[in-house]
Structures are given as C-alpha cells and as structure tokens.
C-alpha cells in the first residue's frame, strides 16, 4: 500500500497553511472548479439536478446492497466477452496478480491512465520491481510521477504546482529547454509520451464504472491518454475497487450527467470509453488480452458497517474537496495518504485504520457543504461524526484522537452544561479569573475588540494559541433575564 | 494462461456476502433495467425511433449547437458535394499529406478518396485484409495528418459522436492523428443518453449478449486543465476536431 503519513496531519497542515503558493493554488479551486460546477448545475436547473442525484443514489444503494450478485454477473459477462477477471483481497495480492501478469507476458513498458486505486496499492513500485517501466500518462499524474509525489486532488493531481515548477521539472527530468508556457508544457508531455504509448506492451487503466449487465469497464477522461492506453498496447489491464459496479447500461446515463458536471463543470468529458473484453477477431486494433483486477483492500469492512457503507457510493468527482473550508486551507497532501478532503477523511481511516488516521475525521467544521455538493448525496458529516464517536469511545487508546486532558475537559464541560447551578458558578469563577488576570501587570493574553487574543491559558493553550476567545460579559443572559426581562415590558 | 489469479471468485463473493450479511440470491424484486425481454425493448425502441423522426429538424439544430459548444467545428450541409468541398478545404488549410479513414457506410455517400487523392493526398482506408496487415495499417495511422470517420450514433444532449470500433472502424484513427473529422448523418442522431443506452441494450440482447469490444464517446478536442487549472486543447488526442453534419 501507499505510504501512510496520516499521523502527521496537524503538523503537515500547519506547514501548508503558511505556504503562500499553496494558498494561491487553493484559492483557485473555489473560483475554478467550484464556480464551473455551479454554472453547470444552473444550466440544467437545480430541481432536475436533485432528481438526478436521487436516482444516482438509488442505483448506488441497490448496487452495494447486492454487491456480491453484481460482481458475479460482471465476472460472467467479462469472461463471456473473452476477458479475464481476477479478485484481490488486499493491496499485496493485487500487486502480485499484476506482477504475475507482467512476468508471464514478458512486459517491459506500461502506460497508465489515471487510477486512484493504483495509487492506493502503490502499483508502480510493484511493477518497477518486475523491471517494467511504467509511465503515468494523465498530464497531472505524469507531473507528480516525475516529481515523486502523491496526488494533491482527486481530479487535478498536480493542482499545487505552478507552471514555473512544472517547467523546471521537465527541464530536469526530460532534458528539454526551460519553457513555462502552459501550452508548450502540454505539448512536451504529448511528445514524450506519444512514443511510449506506441512502444508499450501493457496499458493500465482504472475504472469509473463497471456495468454488470454487459461486462463493460467505463472510463471518463479528457486528454485522450485513456483511449490510447486501452487501445494501442497488446494487453489492457483494468484495476479497480469492487464498489464501482452498477447493474445496467441504462444506469450509466445519470452518472455521465453527474460526474463531469460535478468534477469540472463540463456537460460531458471529451471522451467516455466503454471497454468490453479484448479486441474481437475481426477488429482493426485493440488489445489481444483484457484483464480486470477487482480489489477489496478494506472495502468489505466499510460495506459491513452500516454507518460507513455510504462512503462507497463516492464517484470521486472532487466536488467536496473544492468546497471544503478545511481542504481549501490545508490542501491535499496534509491528508497524508491517497484520498484527500472530506471523503478522504472517511475513506482513509476506514481503509488504513483509525489508529493511523484518527485525526482526519476531526478535520472538519461539520458545515455540511460537502454533502450539499455531493452528486450522490453522501452524508459526509454524519460519517465524520460517526468516526469521531468511534474514536472517542474506542477501548484502544491509540485509536483515540484526543489525549487525556482534552477528554477530561470535555467531560467537565458536559457536566457543567447540564447543571444550571454549576454553570452559574462557573460564570462567576470565570469573571473573577478574568478580573484577576486583567489586574496583573503581565497578561497572559491581549484584549482587543471584546476578544481575548493569543491566550496561553493553562491546559487550553493548544486551542487558544490559534483561536481568539470572546471576553466573558459582565452579566450573563440569566442575570439579565432575572433582572429586566422576566416581567415583560 | 487462463487461470484466474488472486482469490477464487467464490471465496471473494463469500466475504462480500458476509460483510452484507446476505445469502446468495438475485435481487428481489428483479432490477427493472436488467429485464432482457427483447420484445419489450423493441417496443420501447420503436417509440424512441418514431419520436426521433418526428422531432428531427429540432434535434439537428440542438445537436449542432451543443456540439459546437463542446468544441467541435460544425459544418452543416445536406448536399454531398458541399460536404466534400468542405472536407477538401479543411484538408487544404491544414496542408494534409496523409489521410486515414474508416471503412464505414457514410463513405459510400460522401466519396472522399478520389477528390482528396487528386490533390495529392494519400488516403488509406483502415481495414485489414490478407494483404493489408494490422501492423502496416497502424503505421499509416501514425503517419496520418487527419483521421476521418463516420458515426454509429450522435447524441444531441451532449454533442457527442459515438463510434463502436470493429472491422473497418479502427480505434486509433480518431485519436492518434492530430485532427479528427467525423461525418454524421441525420439518422445517426438520438436525443439523449437514455435513448442511446436503451438502443444499445436492445442490440446487446438481440445479438445474444455481444457488446462489441469498444464504444467511444467523442465530444470535442482532447483537453486538459491539469496545470494551474488553465485549459489547454490537444494533449494526447486531437487538437482540432471537425464535424460535418449531413442534414
Ligand atoms: S464524496 Fe461525493 S462530492 Fe466527494 S468526491 Fe465523492 S462523489 Fe464527489
């Protein structure tokens, strides 16, 4: 599996928050992707949009509730079309299957179109260990492969790089003269990768959808690399998570409407490719062999948990990232693994374990914007809360996000809030404390506009260092109520 | 080597069933969109086709508009000579030397070979035979400046041209050359994605479950916004795409 750096979430976000270039790149997410998404929805009418979302959700609920049945049907139909289906329970097994395929077929060069699952599995190193040269061919993926990084965004993996950085990278890695014109950079990638497509023995793709009825793998792309990877080499291997299956060809229509609009605001992407088995005897071109690797890698755990199953409805459009106030500040890498943003904060702890990623579900203000934009209407905030609860109640301390002190404070807070007498006593204590501090020559905080700033309060300092607190008022609402309001005007 | 690798299917499906706490069983009630009663699909298909014929003029307008918005350079004409003149002018403006085309019905209607060849352009029809190997055809495609195809369907809702590669219709002709030109006939047109997928389902079940190896939607040129969210046209696929709408 891909390296897991989820434990560093708070450290990594503190670093990215201070990076001015990331700030700029992330600001564009709202003005670019999200504005395009909103315009695309306005064009179809919000009412129709909601009908589509409900339809998509119904399809996903049905598919996942009967996943065993549809995987079986899919396997039968891929096989009938002349393809091969392999099932992998985890990352190691998926990589072994791939290794076996490249070994027995003497594969030297592979081109790959975008696949988040292959990032999750760390497929490239596994292939390289077999002596295969693997080329990422989606422009964004190609850039991060050259830079040896992980995707920053589900849809735009190299979103965090400036054109100057890409130009320097191409100069260093491809040995071409520096040119930071974006068109020239795309042309350079085209030139470098065109010969690889034509030399490759193996094309690897992910899948956006798998149609059980016909045994069809569907990929949705804009660049044409997906078409080339699945058409030019002599073998095509699709590798994907088991949750991608939908029952019928007719179910595809609604997803083709929702996904491009949610991802980039397009009515449809430049290409939608539907692949059913290898080329037929009479076809002009296309791979001689077609393999499909279906991966579990922790997904059955999510399936088994009724509170998390919904996360498997995700179609990876990235809309929840683009709208998320946390993602917009910390960016994709802080999330520490392959899937960033609100949906990543659910998928990652579910797949790698809460022990590794207990901080991710905390990284949300629970504002609910993610759910509002989600084309499958996934209730992300509910699942974040569920994971927080799981973490807080876990008997295993390493799964808990907060340490002893914050837990005690939360416990105390609950008691005080439940008792009017304690609440009123604590207000008095707080005001008294505030007055004592205010009378001291050196305040442990500064006051401005009714706010207490940069307080370094004992026990609370990790919270208060970054956040301003309102000053306690002279009178509480209860005091005012008693004195002035109770009698009425 | 045809043996499946990894875990056996039965074991994998068992673990999924355990997660779902389910016994092996088909969905009950049956999923409506999976009913493969060919005669029921035929009734539905007939209704769709009648509607398409009735609304054709409006549909053609809509398709042209949406396709143009999607990045196609649309040229509309119902006159074969005018269509050919347009193809010629596209080829001339690009300085085309080598063209490849598919072997589809529409090229019996619009005869492109002789006129293009008379202006010094070599035209290869990509259809393998005992004396035309797939390898040599592939080299012609790689050397081509333009690829010409027809359409199996065209979708007004999305402005897409649908091609279903098979004998005579290469996958690579519409993606490897830097320019793609597609000829669309009025009868290729469907209104929506729903129309398309219903008709495809009928064909699939009618043919005893043969889908064909590939189906491709093409909507405008190849593009990316992967660097600084700035749109670039023409990455791995064609930079320029033309659509001749014959109606
Ligand atoms: S959770 Fe919803 S909004 Fe987020 S990536 Fe998945 S489908 Fe898109």
Report the CATH number at residue A53.
3.40.50.10420
Determine, yes or no, domain membership for A63. Answer: yes
Residues A109 and A253 grouped into a single domain: yes
φ and ψ at residue B9, rounded to 5 degrees: -55, -45
Residue of B nearest to A263 (CA): B225
Determine, yes or no, domain membership for B155. Answer: yes
Residue from the list B6, B165, B226 with its beta carbon closest to the beta carbon of A140: B226
Q: State yes or no: cis peptide before A263, omega within 30 of 0.
A: no
Q: How far apart are CA A81 and CA A25, in angstroms?
A: 45
- How far is Cα of residue B67 from the mean position of the Cα atoms in its chain? 14
Determine, yes or no, domain membership for A306. Answer: no
Determine, yes or no, domain membership for B12. Answer: no
pLDDT tens digits, residue range B141-155?
999 999 999 999 999
Report the mean per-residue pLDDT for chain B: 96
Determine, yes or no, domain membership for B182. Answer: yes
Of B67, B80, B82, the C-alpha closest to B180 is: B67
Asked whether residue B1 carries a pLDDT value surpassing 60, the answer given is no
Q: Which residues contact A263 (CB under 8 A, 6 or more apart)?
A: A33, A37, A155, A317, A318, A319
Of A329, A317, A305, A445, the C-alpha closest to A386 is: A305
Q: Final residue of a domain: which of A335, A369, A395?
A: A395
Q: How far is the CA of A318 from the centre of ligand 1 (A)?
A: 6
Residue from the list B17, B26, B217 with its beta carbon closest to the beta carbon of A268: B217
Burial grade of A434 (CB within 10 A; 0-12, 13-18, 19 or more): middle
Indicate the top mutation candidate among A116, A327, A343, A346 to test ligand 1's pocket, ranked by most ligand atoms within 8 A of CB: A343
φ and ψ at residue A350, rounded to 5 degrees: -70, -35
Burial grade of B28 (CB within 10 A; 0-12, 13-18, 19 or more): exposed
Tokens of A158: 């190299």
Asked whether residue B124 carries a pLDDT value surpassing 70, the answer given is yes
Q: Which of residues 172-211 of B touch A (CB under 8 A)?
A: 172, 175-176, 192-194, 196-198, 200-201, 204, 209-211
Q: How far apart are CA A66 and CA A242, in angstroms?
A: 12
Determine, yes or no, domain membership for A162. Answer: yes
Determine, yes or no, domain membership for A302. Answer: no
Residues A271 and A321 grouped into a single domain: no
Tell me how many domains chain B contains. Answer: 1
CA distances from A310 to A306, A383, B124, B163 (A): 8, 8, 52, 35
- Three-state SS for A351? helix
Q: How far apart are CA A296 and CA A232, in angstroms?
A: 29
What ipTM goes with this model? 0.97
Mean pLDDT value across residues B202-222: 96
Q: Does A162 touch chain B (CB under 8 A)?
A: yes
Report the CATH number at residue B106.
3.40.50.10420
CA distances from B105 to A424, A439, B149, B220 (A): 86, 93, 10, 23
Residues recorded for chain B: 247
- B-interface mutation test, from A284, A289, A299, most B Cβ less than 10 A away: A284
Query: Which range marks the domain in which residue A356 is found?
Result: 1-44+314-395
Q: Final residue of a domain: which of A360, A395, A430?
A: A395
Q: Ligand 1 — pocket residues by CB below 6 A? A: A 154, 262, 314-320, 343, 373-376, 378
Q: Do A284 and B13 touch (CB under 8 A)?
A: no
Tell me how many domains chain A contains. Answer: 3
Tokens of B212: 């064909």
Q: Which of residues 103-142 of A touch B (CB under 8 A)?
A: 104, 137-140
Calculate ∠ Cα A435-A439-A443, nearest 5°: 95
Cβ–Cβ under 8 Å, residues B149 and B238 = no
Determine, yes or no, domain membership for A320. Answer: yes
Determine, yes or no, domain membership for A305. Answer: no
Q: Final residue of a domain: which of A356, A373, A395?
A: A395
Residue from the list A80, A100, A283 with its beta carbon closest to the beta carbon of B166: A283
Asked whether residue B88 carries a pLDDT value surpassing 90, the answer given is yes
Determine, yes or no, domain membership for B17. Answer: no
Counting residues of chain B whose pLDDT is more than 70, the rounded percentage is 99
Residues A35 and A58 grouped into a single domain: no
Determine, yes or no, domain membership for B168. Answer: yes
Q: How confident is the model at residue B163 (pLDDT cuts 50, 70, 90)?
A: very high
Q: Which residues contact A199 (CB under 8 A, 6 or more apart)?
A: A109
Residues A379 and A418 grouped into a single domain: no
Determine, yes or no, domain membership for B120. Answer: yes
| pTM given for the model | 0.92
Residues A258 and A149 grouped into a single domain: yes
Q: How far is the CA of B154 from the centre of ligand 1 (A)?
A: 29
Residues of chain A under the 50 pLDDT cut = none
Determine, yes or no, domain membership for A321. Answer: yes
Of A231, A21, A377, A125, the C-alpha closest to B237 is: A231
- Three-state SS for B47? helix
Residue from the list A81, A185, A251 with its beta carbon closest to the beta carbon of B33: A251
Q: How far apart are CA A331 and CA A2, in angstroms?
A: 18
pLDDT recorded at residue A463: 67
Residues A78 and A220 grouped into a single domain: yes
Tokens of B117: 């060849």
Determine, yes or no, domain membership for A308. Answer: no
Of A228, A231, A232, A284, the C-alpha closest to B132 is: A284
Determine, yes or no, domain membership for B188. Answer: yes
Residues A374 and A475 grouped into a single domain: no
**Half-sphere exposure at residue B189, Cβ-oriented, CA atoms within 13 angstroms:** 30
Q: How far apart are CA B7 and CA A287, in angstroms?
A: 25
Determine, yes or no, domain membership for B71. Answer: yes
Query: Which range marks the domain in which residue B225 is found?
Result: 33-245
pLDDT tens digits, residue range B74-86?
999 999 999 999 9
φ and ψ at residue A155, rounded to 5 degrees: -100, -35
CA of B233, closest CA in chain A: separation in Å?
Answer: 8
pLDDT recorded at residue A130: 96
pLDDT recorded at residue A69: 98
Counting residues of chain A whose pLDDT is more than 90, the rounded percentage is 65
Q: What is the DSSP string of A419-475?
A: -HHHHHHHHHHHHHHHHHHHHSSS-SSEEETTEEES---TTTHHHHTTS-EEPPPSS
Q: How far is the CA of A220 from the centre of ligand 1 (A)?
A: 16
Compute how many other C-beta atoms are within 10 angstroms of the C-beta atom of residue A179. Answer: 15
Q: Do B235 and A189 touch (CB under 8 A)?
A: yes
């Amino acid at each position: 599996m891909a390296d897991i750096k989820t434990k560093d979430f708070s450290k990594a976000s503190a670093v990215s928050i201070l990076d001015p270039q990331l700030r700029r790149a992330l600001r564009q997410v709202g003005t670019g992707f999200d504005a395009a998404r909103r315009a695309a929805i306005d064009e179809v009418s919000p009412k129709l949009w909601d009908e589509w979302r409900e339809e998509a959700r119904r399809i996903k609920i049905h598919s996942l509730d009967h996943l065993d049945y549809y995987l079986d049907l899919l396997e039968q139909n891929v096989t009938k079309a002349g393809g091969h289906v392999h099932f992998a329970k985890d990352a190691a097994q998926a990589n072994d299957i791939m290794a076996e395929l490249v070994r027995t077929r003497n594969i030297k060069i592979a081109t790959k179109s975008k696949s988040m699952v292959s990032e999750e599995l760390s497929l490239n190193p596994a292939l390289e260990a077999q002596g295969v040269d693997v080329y990422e061919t989606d422009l964004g993926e190609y850039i991060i492969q050259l830079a040896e990084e992980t995707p920053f965004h589900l849809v735009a993996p190299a979103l965090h790089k400036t054109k100057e950085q890409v130009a320097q990278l191409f100069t260093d890695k491809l040995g071409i003269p520096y040119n930071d014109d974006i068109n020239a950079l795309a042309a350079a990638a085209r030139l470098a990768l065109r010969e690889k497509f034509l030399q490759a023995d193996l094309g690897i793709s992910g899948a956006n959808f798998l149609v059980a009825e016909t045994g069809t793998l569907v990929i949705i792309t804009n660049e044409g690399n997906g078409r080339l990877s699945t058409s030019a080499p002599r073998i095509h291997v699709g590798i994907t998570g088991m949750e991608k299956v939908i029952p019928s060809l007719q179910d595809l229509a609604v997803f083709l409407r929702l996904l491009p609009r949610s991802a980039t605001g397009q009515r449809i992407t430049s290409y939608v490719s539907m692949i059913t088995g290898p080329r037929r005897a009479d076809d002009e071109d296309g791979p001689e062999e077609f393999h499909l690797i279906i991966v579990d890698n922790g997904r059955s755990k999510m399936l088994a948990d009724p509170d998390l199953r919904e996360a498997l409805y995700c179609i990876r459009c990235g809309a929840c990232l683009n709208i998320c106030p946390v993602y917009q500040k910390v960016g994709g890498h802080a999330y520490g693994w392959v899937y960033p943003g609100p949906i990543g904060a659910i998928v990652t702890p579910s797949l790698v374990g809460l022990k590794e990623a207990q901080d991710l579900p905390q990284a949300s203000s629970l504002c609910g914007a993610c759910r509002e934009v989600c084309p499958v209407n996934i209730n992300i905030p509910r699942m974040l809360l569920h994971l927080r609860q799981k973490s807080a109640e876990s008997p295993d301390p390493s799964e808990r996000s907060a340490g002893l002190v914050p837990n005690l404070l939360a416990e105390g807070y609950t008691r005080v809030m439940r008792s009017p007498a304690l609440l009123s006593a604590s207000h008095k204590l707080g005001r008294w404390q505030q007055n004592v501090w205010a009378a001291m020559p050196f305040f442990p905080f500064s006051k401005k506009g009714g706010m207490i700033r940069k307080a370094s309060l004992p026990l609370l300092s990790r919270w208060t260092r970054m956040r301003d607190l309102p000053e306690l008022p002279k009178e509480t609402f209860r005091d005012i109520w008693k004195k002035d309001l109770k009698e009425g005007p | 080597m045809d043996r499946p690798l990894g875990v056996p299917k039965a074991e994998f499906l068992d673990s999924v069933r355990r997660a779902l706490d389910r016994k092996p069983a088909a969905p009950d009630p049956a999923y409506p969109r999976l009913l493969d009663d060919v005669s029921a699909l035929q009734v539905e298909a007939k209704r769709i086709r009648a509607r398409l014929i009735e609304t054709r003029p409006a549909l053609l307008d809509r398709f042209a508009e949406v396709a143009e918005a999607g990045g196609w350079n649309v040229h509309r004409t119902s006159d074969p000579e005018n269509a050919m003149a347009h193809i010629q002018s596209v080829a001339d403006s690009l300085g085309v030397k080598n063209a490849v085309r598919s072997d589809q019905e529409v090229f019996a209607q619009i005869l492109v070979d002789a006129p293009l060849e008379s202006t010094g352009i070599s035209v290869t029809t990509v259809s393998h035979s005992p004396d035309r190997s797939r390898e040599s055809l592939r080299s012609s495609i790689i050397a081509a400046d333009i690829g010409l195809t027809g359409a199996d369907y065209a979708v007004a809702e999305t402005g897409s041209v649908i091609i279903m590669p098979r004998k005579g219709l290469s996958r690579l002709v519409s993606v490897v050359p830097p320019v793609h030109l597609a000829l669309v006939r009025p009868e290729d047109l469907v209104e929506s994605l729903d129309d398309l997928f219903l008709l495809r389902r009928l064909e699939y079940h009618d043919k005893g479950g043969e889908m064909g190896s590939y189906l491709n939607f093409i909507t405008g040129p190849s593009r990316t916004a992967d660097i600084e969210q700035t749109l670039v046209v023409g990455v791995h696929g064609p930079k320029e795409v033309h659509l001749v709408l014959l109606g």
